[in-house]
């Protein structure tokens, strides 16, 4: 009985090192739409993250909230009764990660995978593609029980169709993950 308790205790410690969870936050570098606009804003990115870590490779799943607004219609300070839209989207990237075995504290990583998104208050209607490809690179900094993972991520969305606005198929972001 004691041997079974010892095995379960050791296994739970191993799983706590293998399964990570936390929060990911950041800022987008690109506009949500590729058409000329007098004001495009993508304020921030934030959401939960979950990660399966094994010595060199891993799998990460995120649920990232993006706030989006778009304004078009004023030229030279004159209002032309333009368009003003706001909305948000949830992105769900699923990425495989490879960590270089450098030091126990600092580990550079690369990631690649797929991403899906869902809209609330669809700012561009059906012009937005709902799936894409994601890849990125960063650094995993392990401090006591916390993993701090700053990195850059590129997303290429599928081909959009033209309705009123044309979605930008390229997205660059700076993200930082804080996980256990």
Q: Which of 7-11, 71-75, 91-95 has the lowest mean pLDDT?
A: 7-11
Domains and CATH numbers, the chain: 12-179 (2.40.160.20)
Pick the residue with more confidence: 133 or 30? 133
Looking at residues 30-59, what average pLDDT do you find? 79
What pLDDT digit, counting tens, does each position of 86-116 carry?
Answer: 678 899 999 999 999 888 899 999 999 999 9
Q: What is the b/e burial string over 118-137, where b = at least 16 CB atoms within 10 angstroms of the residue's CB?
A: ebeeebbeebbeeebebebe
Pick from 106, 99, 25: which is nearest to 67 by CA? 25
User: Which residues make Cβ contacts (< 8 Å) with residue 9, sequence separation at least 6?
Assistant: none
């Amino acid at each position: 009985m004691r041997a079974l308790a010892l095995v379960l205790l050791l296994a739970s410690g191993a799983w706590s090192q293998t399964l990570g969870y936390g929060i990911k936050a950041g800022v987008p570098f690109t506009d949500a739409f590729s058409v000329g606009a007098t004001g495009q804003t993508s304020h921030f990115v934030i959401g939960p993250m979950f990660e399966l870590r094994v010595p060199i490779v891993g799998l990460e799943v995120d649920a990232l909230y993006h706030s989006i607004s778009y304004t078009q219609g004023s030229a030279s300070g004159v209002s032309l009764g333009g368009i003003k839209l706001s909305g948000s989207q949830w992105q769900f990237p699923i990425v495989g990660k490879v960590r270089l075995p450098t030091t126990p504290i600092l580990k550079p990583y690369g990631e690649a995978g797929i991403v899906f998104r869902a809209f609330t208050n669809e700012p561009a209607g059906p012009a937005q593609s709902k799936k894409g490809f994601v890849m990125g690179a960063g650094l995993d900094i392990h401090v006591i029980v916390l993993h701090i993972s700053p990195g850059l991520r590129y997303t290429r969305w599928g081909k959009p169709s033209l309705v009123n606005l044309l979605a930008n198929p390229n997205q660059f972001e700076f993200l930082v993950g804080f996980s256990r």
